[in-house]
Structure 1
């Protein structure tokens, strides 16, 4: 689709250098998707923003394969786009006015909280897959920061890993708007290990670490008033049926949510309105999705997870990182897996119930099967049985990836963001999430 949309945008056809010019009127949005070659955008005049982050005049922004971009203007702007996007068009109708009004309402609650020395708004964004939950969180966080606030972003989406890596949940204080070409600056996040890409594998563990994360955030609020008044924005997964729905109710309870934003699904909105009707402190708001949101394939999701893990170790083009690779002797390599399958009742004597093994720590001997798996480094230690038991609900220092297991030399080779050695007496927690290091 070309950039020519009649009276809304004056666009020229791409010339030999693949240049597209756009003159956007107020309240319109330029949307495009990058398929292969990078696309460069430069704002010539006016004011525009990408998901709440303002673009600077004459600065070039480069978008890579897989990026889905929506540049909105409240007042009008002129843009130049260089490259061949897979899709490009100007949208005359967007939900951005709704989003800014929503942000203004949340800011009003923050002002009220500051005046009364209370906690600011706790917002949870939910909805099925591919409706723009992460994008709405980014917009609301950016607007809050631009208003001088420092909200906490909580990510409960195990498959995405926006705060750390897939298979974990976490929270981080947001102090600056997100980079136009990237994401937020993640300074000192608090992260909890789960080890799977969906909460259905171990619901008991998922509920436990949600509760632990909520308690840690509450402690942060008690010692930092600016964070307390700014509130939190919680992102959730796209699983909204069965236990997915139950986990939403658990999250609302754990994080004392007072505003639930339901994107684009009336059934979910109706169910939450019904189940929360007796909770006078929680409002459920039906929220429109952007017309630019598109469905993602399973292959794209897998590629996105790999890219997220790769960026954890190696950074990106603008901010490269240089991880370390070193060997760890088997004698210093203590790995545990959380949970094991419960015995079926048919295998037990009549009248006995199976023991819940979902939060048991099971030691894993080093073997070739560990190769390419992520391991979380727990803040708990293995000094005592009591300390070891805390690993389940303790936050983590970070993650390493097993790149090789040498059974003859009795060493494991790991890829790590930090140089050797691993923290003394550290507890390593096994993750089903895999990463193949091709660097």
Structure 2
């Protein structure tokens, strides 16, 4: 994809402000590519930069269904498989029914990036911008993150219902840009294939592990009042996050069963000693 002169100008503006930079736009507008460009430019200038990936369906940091944060030291040669510093499990590939977890997770990752000394934090987001749901997700995400710069990639006026609450706001610079002409649209099928491939890559080489449910807390957001052991068969195949004591995600797993106080989980995570929460997701995966 070409790097228009407008991007060069934008990168200088962003690097001058530093702080949190949030990108929004409909699908196939080039948000992620612009994120990568801004990050690379900042790193070449010696700016300590964090990348927060909020696209739970087409993630590049961590597997799908997770939010990810990577603190970078130099421009990556390949952004497609970045090692992560932190993950936050959402458990779905769409934010539509999980607005609060997505907003909270992004806030926690941005706060951690600040704690770790990031001068510039670039936040990528999903393409969900339409209607009331898109407004609530993006507008209140901005309220939580309080970005110094908001970059909106807009074809016509599809973001105006969101942007009208940002124009003239104190403390935030708003940049409205057209999408790059080099964007290649991805069909829903291609997006599904991407998620499937990422899951396969992540779980390759996994193994079945035992987790003592006496020392962990099992959280099922879909059935929060149902006790563990009641209708246990419904959990088989459910994707889950293996979370630490701060509720950040150490790895993903697939629930395979429970017996005599032991949960059996298929996961590539090598060490489960630090796992304190088993957070069940909203999708089922077939292993193999």
TM-score bin (small chain) = 0.7 to 0.9
Contact 1:169 1:192 in 2 (8 A): yes
SS of 1:335's equivalent? strand
Residue 296 (str. 1) matches residue 186 (str. 2): yes
The DSSP-based 3-state class of the residue aligned with 1:267 is coil
| 1:232 to 2:156 alignment | no
Structure 1 residues 435 and 143: alpha-carbon distance in aligned structure 2, compared to 1, 3 A threshold: farther
Kindly report the root-mean-square deviation, in angstroms, between the aligned alpha carbons of the 2 structures: 2.9
SS of 1:178's equivalent in the other structure is coil
How many angstroms does 1:296 deviate by?
1.7
Structure 1 206/136 Cα, relative in aligned 2: closer, same or farther at 3 Å? same
| Distance (whole Å) between structure 1 residues aligned to residue 102 and residue 276 of structure 2 | 22
CA distance in 2, matches of 1:198, 1:428: 20
Q: Is the 8 A contact 1:401 1:416 kept in 2?
A: no
- What residue is the counterpart of 1:212 in the other structure? 108
* Worse-matched range after superposition: 120-129 or 200-209: 200-209
Q: Is 1:375 aligned to residue 240 of structure 2?
A: yes
Aligned-residue offset at 1:217: 3.1
- For 1:184 and 1:412, the matched residues in 2 are separated by 28
Residue equivalent to 1:10: none
Question: How far apart are the structure 1 equivalents of 2:226 and 2:58?
Answer: 26
Change (3 A) 1:282 1:326: same
Kindly indicate whether residue 2 of structure 2 is the aligned counterpart of residue 102 of structure 1: no
Residue 22 of structure 2 corresponds to which residue in structure 1? 124
Counterparts in 2 of 1:198 and 1:363: CA distance versus 1, 3 Å: farther
Pick from 250, 264, 272 the counterpart of residue 412 of structure 1: 264
Which structure has more relative contact order (CA 8 Å, sep 6+)? It is 2
TM-score (norm 1): 0.58
Change (3 A) 1:136 1:433: farther
Cα contact 1:330–1:412 (8 A) shared by 2:
no
For structure 1, the residue ranges without an aligned partner over 5 or more in a row are 1-69, 71-93, 110-119, 315-322, 341-359, 381-390
Counterpart residue number, 2:280: 430
Cα shift at 1:95: 5.0
Distance 1:434-1:142 versus aligned 2 partners, 3 A rule? farther
| Correspondent of 1:156 among 20, 41, 54 | 54
**Per-residue deviation at 1:326?**
2.5
**TM superposition shift of 1:234:** 0.8
List alignment gaps of at least 5 residues for structure 2: none
The structure having more radius of gyration, on CA atoms, is 1
The 1:273–1:434 alpha-carbon spacing in structure 2 relative to 1, beyond 3 Å, is same
Q: C-alpha separation between the residues in 2 aligned to 1:362 and 1:199?
A: 24
Residue equivalent to 1:82: none
Provide the rounded CA distance (Å) in 2 between the counterparts of 1:273 and 1:331. 46
Moved more, 94-103 or 132-141: 94-103
Kept after mapping to 1: 8 A contact 2:207/2:268:
yes
1:433–1:96 CA distance, 2 compared to 1 (3 A): farther
Query: What's the counterpart of residue 38 of structure 2?
Result: 140
Superposition pairs of residues 159-174 of structure 1, within 5 angstroms: 159-174=57-72
User: How many angstroms does 1:413 deviate by?
Assistant: 4.7
Q: Which residue in 2 is equivalent to 1:336?
A: 219
Shift of 1:201: 1.6
How far has the Cα of 1:331 moved from its partner?
5.5
Q: In structure 2, how many angstroms separate the alpha carbons of the residues matched to 1:160 and 1:236?
A: 10
TM-score scaled by structure 2?
0.85
Q: Partners in 2 of 1:95 and 1:285 — Cα distance? A: 17
Q: CA deviation at 1:407?
A: 7.2
Correspondence for 2:252: 399
Match of 1:186 in 2: 83
Matching of residues 18-97 of structure 1 within 5 Å: 70=1, 94-97=2-5
Matches for 1:248-327 after TM superposition, within 5 Å? 248-314=138-204, 323-327=205-209
Shift of 1:235: 0.5
| Shift of residue 134, structure 1, vs aligned partner | 1.0
**Which whole-Å CA distance do the structure 2 matches of 1:429 and 1:418 have between them?**
18
Q: What CA distance in whole angstroms lies between the structure 2 residues aligned with 1:131 and 1:309?
A: 25
Q: Give the Å deviation of 1:330.
A: 7.5
The 2-side partners of 1:273 and 1:97 are apart by 24
